[in-house]
Amino acid sequence: MLRSIPNKLLGVIAMFSAILIILVLPITDLSRNRGIQFRPLSKIAFYIFVANFLILMQLGAKHVESPFIEFGQISTVLYFSHFVVIVPFVTLIENTLIELNYNTAR
């Protein structure tokens, strides 16, 4: 993640926000069903997040060269968008599907 950011100050801000964004997860996860066992879209999003994390780890071990910098930038954007965009969107979809199922079951 740090090698993808050319400015030192922005790198420090990115690392600080990478840790702090995990604290935002209880606020962005608005699902009515708290367990991930019955949330298939959340499982898929979680596995994509784990794969992205592993890719970031591998890219951190590579040399600072042209293709690795761009892949690192894309993975960094995906890392932050997971917490800010993907998790709220997936919980919104799952809550809507649960409501529709509940309303049609009556």
Per-residue pLDDT of the chain (106 residues; tens, 9 = 90+): 667 787 889 989 989 999 999 998 888 888 888 788 888 999 999 999 999 999 999 998 988 888 998 999 999 999 999 999 999 999 999 999 988 888 887 6
3-state secondary structure of 62: coil
- Count CB-CB contacts under 10 A for residue 8: 9
Are residues 59 and 68 in contact, defined by beta-carbon separation less than 8 angstroms? Answer: yes
Backbone angles phi, psi at 32, to 5 degrees: -80, -25
Return the amino acid letter for 103: N
Are residues 91 and 36 in contact, defined by beta-carbon separation less than 8 angstroms? Answer: no
Return the amino acid letter for 3: R
Number of domains composing the chain: 1
Are residues 98 and 30 in contact, defined by beta-carbon separation less than 8 angstroms? Answer: no
Where in the sequence is the domain holding 91, given as residue range(s)?
2-105
